[in-house]
Structure 1
């Protein structure tokens, strides 16, 4: 019994330790929001990395997600004569669920992993300790600009992805011979179904998911140890943990906001 309970207890303690450290990092980051006007250049640099550099990949992802969604639902709806509501289905799916989740996955995989690796290198090679020696708080100097950039850029990327995905759905709905829904019919059903509430839910999810990506990447980067091998493990850990927390948060937010 002891051999079974001891590893379980260690895992439970480790989970609560990580949770506590992440909450402390979140609190410190929010505390240093007051320093944001003095770090505008750093924030803008991170926004360019997170937002502008991600636009091409986000466009390709959203366009094909919208086309696949319209194709799969349109062919099935056509069997029952309900293809006229395909615009509403694509719009709801993109705005409330697929847009925020897929875009956040993309940011976590492309940007979150790079953040964790960059901060991990700085931690392993004692650059973080050097900042502390110079009386520069690493959370203010490194984590806060990345956090603010994420909560600004991820919602913007979600809006961008939603629009591209809806256009992709409209294109395939009009051109596919088995579906053939006119652009006017598509957008009529879309505008009739999409309300401000749905857009607000999607953007709320985007802000939360962006916070998760930045928080996890910074925490994992600061906790890196073990040289080059540790940096590689931190990169993987950041992506996996971000994905898991995004999915958990998605369920909780859907439950609360539906």
Structure 2
């Protein structure tokens, strides 16, 4: 276990060593940002709208009492979306989409000896293959989380329009009531940490793949599983520290 952790840290150190040619790395970062950001817009939009709608309906149902203001449902749905649902569920989904892609891509390059060829040519393989993915992840995943928060709250409003549990006016009143900017800060910190964990863990699994196609699939699966576990652990730690 300690050997694996030491090898993980060493891989990160090699990944962020001074690049041989910055323009090549910059082109890779831009390509990864498009792949991670634009490529994930569809799935993030779909899950955000539906989770926001479902959360609002459930909260309104649980608080259906004449002693409780209906606007409270909008406030609870807003804070739940910002603090937990958007950053954490989005990260878990992206671990499956982005993480598996990173692990399988690097793992395939390892078993087909493309990484060995890069090293023979004097290229810093971890820096060329891994650092652009990490930088793109910690840049684009917070932006995707902001989009998820916006669509999640919008989904809650749509649910209010088509359901009788809470009126749209009450929902908007709750969304605006007592907003604390700290919740956005917590969500962005979570998104940045989650992005780093997804990219680095999956890249590590792919980089040290050995064997053939079967092992590439196993590395991809292991990367997603370990990423999801670490995302949930980091979620608990960040929430405990910042809140």
Which of the residues 5, 9, 12 maps onto 1:26? 12
Please, what is the CA RMSD of the aligned residues?
1.7
Which of the residues 147, 160, 185 maps onto 1:173? 160
**Gap change, CA 1:35 and 1:175, over 3 Å in 2:** farther
**Residue of structure 2 in register with 1:10 after alignment:** none
**Residue of structure 2 in register with 1:107 after alignment:** 94
Q: Is the 8 A contact 1:36 1:145 kept in 2?
A: no
Q: Which has the higher helix share?
A: 1
**Pairing 1:161-240 to 2, within 5 Å after superposition:** 161-177=148-164, 179-183=165-169, 185-240=170-225
**Pairing 1:1-258 to 2, within 5 Å after superposition:** 15-32=1-18, 38-79=24-65, 80-177=67-164, 179-183=165-169, 185-258=170-243
TM-score scaled by structure 1?
0.89
1:81 offset after TM fit, Å? 3.2
Distance 2:104 2:10 in 1: 21
Distance 1:34 1:195 in 2: 45
SS in 2 for 1:74: helix
- Give unpaired runs (5+ residues) of structure 1: 1-14
Distance 1:225 1:76 in 2: 52
Distance 2:26 2:182 in 1: 32
TM-score scaled by structure 2?
0.94
- Give unpaired runs (5+ residues) of structure 2: none
